[in-house]
Amino acid sequence: MTRRPRSKNANVPAAATLVALTAAFVVATAGAQAPDAPTGPPSIVDVLVSGQGEAVPGIKVTLAPDIGRPAEQWNVGDSKPLGIALTDATGHARFNDVPPGKYVVTSGCATVANWIAGNYASRVEAFGGRTIAVTLTMRRGGMVRGKAMQGEQALKRCDLRTDSPDAMSTTCGMMSASLVDSATGGFTIARVPIGAQMWIKGSIDFGVGDLGVWKSVQMAKPETLDVVLPFPSLAAKDLGTLVIKFRPDTPAVTDSGNAALTLSQPDGSWRFEASPRIAGVDSVTTVKGLPAGGYQIRPYAAVGTAKWWNASTDSVHVKAGESTVYIVKAHLR
């Protein structure tokens, strides 16, 4: 029996069918993986910036595409803003013709007239031609207008720090202190929270340590308060010397350390802090130029490779114009 030779084109129809099916699958899959962007009529995003029920005008509000990060973290490097608008006299900023999609609305931390930012960002979704209402919040603040003085003289340099343990927290800045004017000693503290106690600490370099003045401020209403930070005028006759003898209870070489010294006035008007170095097996440290008065002394060891020691917190009185000796009785840990 003679076999009939097989045609070379016998598989062509099947191959063509397979190619066609594969092409159709690729087209269908591509369509499923790349859906069209949201469509529909544009919407309106109406933003109200409210400060405890009061409209806040003049606040810059930004509307930008949402890339999925927390709204408070948005910045111009994330997405190009769709629009920027200032709130009007009624506290509203209005964005018209907003295409369907997800957006971030934010006023950032920038405020006016000592307002303190609260909920300053939100994520929204525009769809169906609707008007989306968003409320961002702020709260009232005040201002301190201060002057750092030492006797009758304005201080040319003073470091300022503020703290308010009972103020409502915010991720935006508040109680922001300016630099001290070297000619007048003047400074300002903006966005001071209402109804909370704020502490202002001013400190200056006083040779062997820091001289500090604390001032408490509490506002019952939005206002500008005038405050003076009165640093004491200390002359040579008001200063003394402290001789610290380090006496560990071992002949072995121990870690070096410090003796934290704190002098606080009974009326809380000012305080002095220093932390001279103490070290060695049997060393003597002389600290000159200390304001006279009763000090708390807290010797402590620095972490090192030698033997650690500890010593009790104690008190020592430095007399004006005299040398006072204090012995640190250190014990191995």
pLDDT tens track of the chain, all 333 residues? 444 444 444 443 444 433 343 333 333 333 333 345 678 899 999 999 999 899 999 999 999 999 999 999 999 999 999 999 999 999 999 999 999 999 999 999 988 889 999 999 999 999 999 999 999 999 999 999 999 999 889 998 999 999 998 787 788 889 999 999 999 999 999 999 999 999 999 999 999 999 999 999 999 999 999 999 999 999 999 999 999 999 888 888 888 899 999 999 988 889 999 999 997 677 899 999 999 999 999 999 987 777 889 899 999 999 999 999 999 998 888
pLDDT value, residue 249: 86
Same domain for 188 and 123? no
3-state secondary structure 103-115: EEEECCCCCCCCC
Q: Is residue 255 part of a domain?
A: yes
Which domain-ending residue is among 211, 231, 251? 231
Residue 36 tokens, joined: 């069209």
State which of 139, 169, 196 marks the end of a domain.
139
Establish if 327 belongs to a structural domain.
yes
**Cβ(89)–Cβ(29) under 8 Å?**
no
Report the domain count for the chain.
Answer: 3
Tell me the C-alpha to C-alpha distance, in Å, between residue 80 and each of 45, 67, 75: 17, 11, 9
pTM over 0.75: no
Regarding whether 262 and 227 lie in a shared domain, the answer is no
Q: Are 260 and 300 in contact (CB under 8 A)?
A: yes
Tell which residue, 300, 305, 262, has the closest CA to residue 278: 300
How many other CB atoms are found less than 10 A from the CB of residue 118? 16
Label residue 185 exposed, middle or buried (CB < 10 Å: 0-12, 13-18, 19+). buried
Provide φ and ψ at 322, rounded to 5°. Answer: -130, 170
Tell me the three state secondary structure of residue 18: helix
Residues 248, 326 share a domain: yes
Specify the CATH number for the domain of residue 146. Answer: 2.60.40
C-alpha span between 185 and 192 (Å, rounded): 20
Got the DSSP string for 208-250? TEEEEEEEEEE-SSS-EEEEEEEE----GGGEEEEEEEEEESS
Instruction: Examine residue 105 and state whether it is found in any structural domain, yes or no.
Output: yes
Read off the CATH number of the domain in which 52 is found: 2.60.40.10
In this structure, the answer to whether residues 224 and 157 fall within a common structural domain is yes
Whether residue 9 is contained in a domain is answered as no
Note whether 116 and 157 are same-domain residues: no
Give the separation between CA 117 and CA 136, rounded to whole angstroms. 9
Spatial contact of 49 and 55, defined as CB atoms under 8 Å apart: yes
Question: Are 254 and 332 a contacting pair, CB within 8 Å?
Answer: yes
Q: Read off the amino acid at residue 9.
A: N
Of 77, 107, 139, the position where a domain reaches its end is: 139
Is 183 a domain residue?
yes
Side-chain half-sphere CA neighbours of 314 within 13 A: 14
Task: Give which of 241, 234, 193 is closest to 217, Cα–Cα.
Answer: 193
**Domain range enclosing 255:** 236-332
Which residue is listed with tokens 């968003």?
134
Residue 294 lies in a domain: yes
